[in-house]
Structure 1
């Protein structure tokens, strides 16, 4: 059990959701470290979280509904017998009129503006990165997309997202990448940056029809990746119509299941971008779908007998994963 828990990096901060991902007064199920929770947002824009199990007969609270209160707060209601649980995990038994003692332990949330972070039930080992504060101060929030639970381990998910060679394989049908021209990798422990260029072939008509956002991509994509181990990868990208920060988040739901999603932020350069917001969100959704497709087609126990150039990002992930939460040399900067 200890090895299984360690594979999910206890003590790391995980962004469970952006508030925009939670409809008002509608319970949503999230998983973290092998446990299910119910999240809900009330009319006051406050977010609460409880274990996703009714203390009576085990029904999923996320399958129920929210009962709004006069002060704007709300309770989550069990779909089986309509027991209402408040933010402290207490309920009132029918006919008694009395509030019970706490029956469910609330999940500790750290709310920073619209960002909902949690360490689960573990002691913090590293601080929440402050990069999202900087991004919201300088970019407009476009939206969330590609919120998907994937049957893969956290390590496999992270290795894939730091594999700079997979662009011209996994994402060939989307970007028609001809090669990866790696330029620089900067290693600062649990933080790193990678810069590389990817010349692309011109999209075909069918590809444009399928995803018009490819027309806004430059002939040579200049990728700047900012990595915050273990929960966040930010793609800083320029297009003729916008400067974008595409934030990829990862949440370990269980030892063999990881959730990922994207929050997109941008500085618009043209009114055209505002008309294409949904198209760019769909572009990110397609990227994640292609990553998921390949992750579900891997033999995880296959011994690795070949090492490609530019695997420094994967080496950075492996080193931090193996030594978590310590930071161990060597420095991998190139």
Structure 2
């Protein structure tokens, strides 16, 4: 496939997603890779195809003593640079490695292309200021990257797509600031007047104030960061997107919080991560049921934010 937005730094994983000494398969721009983390927290990634007889290395296992990936077909071993080990180290790499940049718990790659952007510093700043809560919304969506990108720049779709979950009846963008590949938007979302029965049936509503004020920071094209305040304290959702294939996009969210009281973490963690999973499922349904793109005949408020993102994509 033709690579999508070559030169982008893609956030492909958070260390907590990998486990220890466990092969994981990822796909980026049509190519499969195996990625693993050792007990020291070092991370490695190789082309997923064994250079012997093309078995998927991600179906194999990790040899902890040698820090190698073992092919499931013939138990051949390769180190993190792709060098074959048969009792002695072969200095010539046989399996292609994927260049990684590991910053804190974040794992980035340019996918073998010359960098066009620097890796954002925002992710690490958030990790230092907030407490890590967990990973949510990890999903491979059957839809092109642009469609998945634009739904995250759409400040109107929550009134329909997420109506049942959040009961948002109005959404207003109060400020926006554009600068190159970055965009910062402040919004106010008004929740419906929910009955006590409705709140009991959907506990997420207990955490949302009548008017929810949030700030969204975009770093085109791979990162969307949502800052908000709920009943339990502050939260941050770091949303990552990357293209797996022409019609397949990976999304996951790294979630952080600042709880008012320590006990609130155990009280709200499960419901908060589950709510994000539901949001991603609803977005997935919306994207996977779209008809082929046509020229819109209706214009809604704040769609200039959508058009800004699409223009950056087209001009890349």
Q: Same fold (TM over 0.5)?
A: yes
Selected match of 1:239 from 210, 230, 238: 230
Q: Which residue of 2 aligns with 1:25?
A: 21
Deviation (angstroms), 1:311: 0.7
Q: 5+ unaligned residues in a row in structure 1: which ranges?
A: 325-334
Q: Which residue of 2 aligns with 1:327?
A: none
Contact kept, 8 Å, 2:206 with 2:231, in 1: the verdict is: no
RMSD: 1.6
Contact kept, 8 Å, 2:166 with 2:204, in 1: the verdict is: no
Q: Which residue of 1 aligns with 2:177?
A: 186
Q: 5+ unaligned residues in a row in structure 2: which ranges?
A: none
Q: Which residue of 2 aligns with 1:328?
A: none
Rounded Cα–Cα distance in structure 2 between residues aligned with 1:159 and 1:36: 25
4+ residue segments displaced more than 6 Å: none
Structure 1 position 88 matched with structure 2 position 81: yes
Q: Which residue of 2 aligns with 1:214?
A: 205
Structure 1 position 305 matched with structure 2 position 297: yes
Contact kept, 8 Å, 1:213 with 1:276, in 2: the verdict is: no
Deviation (angstroms), 1:58: 1.0
The answer to which structure has the higher strand fraction is 2
Rounded Cα–Cα distance in structure 2 between residues aligned with 1:229 and 1:151: 21
Rounded Cα–Cα distance in structure 1 between residues aligned with 2:253 and 2:6: 22
**TM-score w.r.t. length of structure 2:** 0.95
Rounded Cα–Cα distance in structure 2 between residues aligned with 1:206 and 1:21: 37
The number of equivalent residue pairs is: 314
Rounded Cα–Cα distance in structure 1 between residues aligned with 2:133 and 2:165: 21
Cα 1:203–1:52 shift into 2, 3 Å = farther
Contact kept, 8 Å, 1:211 with 1:283, in 2: the verdict is: no
**TM-score w.r.t. length of structure 1:** 0.90
Rounded Cα–Cα distance in structure 1 between residues aligned with 2:209 and 2:293: 38
Q: Deviations over 1:156-177 (max 9, x none)?
A: 1111100001010100010111
Cα 1:221–1:106 shift into 2, 3 Å = same
Structure 1 position 57 matched with structure 2 position 53: yes
Rounded Cα–Cα distance in structure 2 between residues aligned with 1:283 and 1:160: 17
